[in-house]
């Protein structure tokens, strides 16, 4: 499940994920997420970077698959370094991001 909240004054898009983000769930939410990012950019060209902050809220997530990690990497490549933050990770998810090496290119809390 995926919900969005855009704070115009802070120029921040928060994406609230829930449940198991396995391969099937990641595949299903991928189009929805990319469509929202394209709306922010005003184009479907990924070369046009979003200057807004993007937060992935993982409060209600208990599992991530490599397909979700791929989504994180894809989004991170489309925004300036430091503009994608993954927040509210439980220790297991935090460790998963660290093992994948994403804690060096993303802010994971």
Domain boundaries, the chain: 2-108
pLDDT value for 52: 87
pLDDT value for 41: 84
CB of 60 within 8 A of CB of 14?
Answer: no
Q: Please state which CATH number belongs to domain 2-108.
A: 3.30.750.24
User: Is the pLDDT assigned to residue 40 strictly greater than 80?
Assistant: yes
Sign of CA dihedral 1, 44, 72, 86: negative
Q: pLDDT tens digits, residue range 43-86?
A: 877 777 778 899 999 999 999 999 999 999 999 988 888 899 99
User: Is the pLDDT assigned to residue 103 strictly greater than 90?
Assistant: no
Confidence of residue 8 (pLDDT cuts 50, 70, 90): confident
Q: What is the percent of the chain with per-residue pLDDT over 90, rounded to a whole number?
A: 65
pTM beyond 0.85 = yes
């Amino acid at each position: 499940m995926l919900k969005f909240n855009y704070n115009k004054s802070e120029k921040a898009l928060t994406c609230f994920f829930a449940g198991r983000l396995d391969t099937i769930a990641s595949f299903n939410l991928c189009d929805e997420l990319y469509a929202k990012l394209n709306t922010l950019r005003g184009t479907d060209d990924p070369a046009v970077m979003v200057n807004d902050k993007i937060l992935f809220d993982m409060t209600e997530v208990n599992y991530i698959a490599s397909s979700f990690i791929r989504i994180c990497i894809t989004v991170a490549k489309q925004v300036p370094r430091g503009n994608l933050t993954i927040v509210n990770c439980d220790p297991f998810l935090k460790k998963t991001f660290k093992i994948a090496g994403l804690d060096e290119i993303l802010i994971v809390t």
